[in-house]
Amino acid sequence: MTTSLPTARLGSTGMRLTGVGFGAWAIGGGGWAFAWGDQDDTESVTAIRSAVESGINWIDTAAVYGLGHSEEVVAAALAGLPEADRPYVFTKGGLVWDPAARSAAPRRVGEPASLRGEVEASLRRLKVERIDLYQMHWPAEDGTALEDYWQVFLDLKREGKIRAAGLSNHGISQLAAAEGIGHVDAVQPQFNLIHRDVADDVLPWARDHETGVIVYSPMASGLLTGAFTAERAARLDAGDWRSSHPDFREPALRANLALADALGLVAERHGVTAAAVAVAWTLCFPGVTGAIVGARSPRQVQGWLPAAALKLKEDDLADIAAAVHASGGGAGPASPPTATQA
């Protein structure tokens, strides 16, 4: 796929990604444990196509998003696109659900036969012959050793069912154990101005091992968009996982919204949204290939799209760091290792 947006190399995979990718968690819709609430599929398809038409060249989803539905929506959005225009499609496995108990939390399963069944199901739902990046969503909790489930990913890559293999939500000791068996092509950690700790360990590890990094939740699930308010937080539906999350409740909520306000001041200098600044900040860190940014409508896509090419300056980074320190929240560095764009 050709794009006019800047791209960066995803580790040693040979893929070059735009700085932002379309995150397909929310478009899975409602009625499951970690839903964002109900979502119109037609609007989801329109949002994905808007992102692709704007030059975004990758989509990140997972089998568990909507209990398979997000992958189906992604397939519908990409149907009919010429091969040259198709974005890379990344998905994740290792979270298993009971269809008869949709509201129950999925189980973290690493059993090899289960993973092989999952990848086949994802291939069918996505209507592809090969998944560009397949990731273990969370460390297994069913007693399967990391070495055993990581070997499955390496085998799937060798067999051509996946192009690259990655680990999401794994710490550096787990990454090191996996790397000892076979190369970790990519990692996917949470990273934003509120949750910054991976900048101290996972990001440097990935850089040292030529492992690509795609970060998730760069806008802190909406908190740093500039469009969120305390009133909106209070109105979150019980079917939205954020309604019970500490980041969206006091005492953290007030500090998080003040941080978003500070981003708005930086955004005004560049003529963009606070959301774009929040995302661009994550891309300043050495080793970060791209950021996964969710959207439920074309309007939301256009709000964060400028982050793909936004270059934050030293005074921007200094002002953002000051706002982070003033908020008093989170751990990890408030600015990249150097005061220049990585």
Phi, psi of 198 (to 5 degrees): -70, -15
Cα dihedral sign, 77-78-82-84: positive
CB 332 within 8 A of CB 199: yes
Residue closest to 230 by CA, chosen among 251, 210, 215, 214: 251
Is the previous residue joined to 251 through a cis bond, with omega within 30 degrees of 0? yes
Cα 17 to Cα 3: distance, rounded to the nearest angstrom: 10
Q: 149 catalytic, yes or no?
A: no
Other Cβ atoms closer than 10 A to 147: 11
3-state secondary structure of 20: strand
The DSSP line for 285-339 is STT--EEEEE-SSHHHHHHHGGGGT----HHHHHHHHHHHHHHT---S-SS-SSS
Q: Using CB atoms within 10 Å of the CB of residue 207, give its burial: 0 to 12 exposed, 13 to 18 middle, 19+ buried.
A: middle
Which of 65, 134, 149, 216 is the catalytic position?
65
**Residues recorded for the chain:** 342
Please list the active-site residues: 65
